[in-house]
Amino acid sequence: MILKMVFEPATDELVDLPVHYNRPLQGMFYNLLSQYFGSSINSDEREKKIFTFSRIYPYESFRVDNKRLKFKGSFMVYFASPIEELMDCVSKAFSEKELFRIENNLFRLKSHVILKTEVNSPIMVKTVSPITVYSTITLPNKNKYTHYFSPYSDNFRNLISENIKRKASVLGIDFSEDNTFDISPYGVTEKNEKLLFYKGIIIKGWTGYFVLSGNKNLIRLAFDSGLGAKNSQGFGMIIPADHNQAYEAIDKSDDSILTDDYKPHDVYEKEVFSNTVI
């Protein structure tokens, strides 16, 4: 189930967020969920953590100033989960709370609507947050090395397929009669490679258009839970795309700011290529 939300600032002040705002945005959603799940949302109950959310999409133009994203007016953001109870909790919180905080910014919920998605195979999708796929190995010197895979590599496709099937197993979704699931990039180039800063590390992901095929229940789960890794940190969310819109950017997307221009170079080699397990 995909929820589309529109927020507006509680004051006339400029919205001021870090360029890499995944963590404070995640914090808003965890705050909504923690009221109803209590401490279990941070426990090892993996099925309760199956959700994802998108990037922020301002309706007005934005600017980047000293690694801060600034804009006026409303913005759109998506949230999704295959867990009905979790979605009910979010909807209930929206009906009970008047103000919502992201970092030091206060917002009001202007509107929210459940998107009805028709699942076909094959189906074209577009990312609303970058898809990240990686593996971590231990080097001979005992340091950890994290390798991120390109959408054109077999590992990218295989790891995404394995990941979606693990989620299905956790949720009790039966795919025994048809266990096929495949993903192919559509017009994705090096320009779609994005770098995000999260909790002191750089995470590499990919945006753009992809074609999904296979078991429709697995495809629906991909919409509701995200593709790849770190979905609950705001990675891998997708929505259906019009085939004719391929190669076009989402209107007023902030994807353009997620480039090497805003990569914290001083921590990149230390965190990613040294001994951090992502």
Within 10 Å of residue 208's Cβ, how many Cβ atoms?
24
pLDDT on residue 226? 96
Q: CA 145 to CA 136: how far, in whole Å?
A: 5
- Give the residue range(s) of CATH 3.30.70.1900 domains in the chain: 123-275
Tell me which of 3.30.460.10, 3.40.50.970, 3.10.20.30, 3.30.70.1900 is the CATH number of domain 123-275: 3.30.70.1900
First to last CA, the chain: 28
Contacts of 25 (CB under 8 A, 6+ apart): 53, 56, 77, 102, 234
8 Å CB contact between 267 and 195: no
Q: Which residue has the tokens 């699942």?
A: 119
* Burial class of 129 by CB neighbour count within 10 A (0 to 12, 13 to 18, 19+): buried
pLDDT on residue 44? 52
The encoded tokens of residue 186 equal 């559509």
pLDDT on residue 33? 83
* Architecture of the structural domain at 2-115: 2-Layer Sandwich (3.30)
pLDDT on residue 46? 53
pTM: 0.82
The encoded tokens of residue 5 equal 């939300």
Measuring CA to CA, which residue among 111, 101, 104 is closest to residue 74?
A: 111
HSE toward the beta carbon, residue 22, CA cutoff 13 A: 26
- In the 8-state DSSP scheme, what is residue 257? G
Q: Which residue has the tokens 């963590």?
A: 23
Report how far Cα 156 is from the mean position of its chain's Cα atoms.
Answer: 16
pLDDT on residue 109? 92
pLDDT on residue 116? 82
Q: Which residues does residue 185 pair with via DSSP β-bridges, in sequence order? A: 210
pLDDT on residue 255? 54
The low-confidence residues of the chain, meaning pLDDT below 50, are 43, 244, 246-254, 259-278
Burial 209-240 (b: 16+ CB within 10 A, else e): bbbbbbbeebbbbbbbbbbbbbbbbbbbbbbb
Q: Which helix (H) or strand (E) holds 219?
A: helix 216-225
pLDDT on residue 264? 33
Tens digits of per-residue pLDDT, 6-36?
999 998 888 989 889 999 999 899 888 876 5
CA angle at residue 126 from 241 to 265, to 5 degrees?
160
Q: How far is CA 99 from CA 2, 10, 262, in A?
A: 22, 7, 30
pLDDT on residue 276? 28
- Give the residue range(s) of CATH 3.30.70.1890 domains in the chain: 2-115
Within 10 Å of residue 166's Cβ, how many Cβ atoms?
11
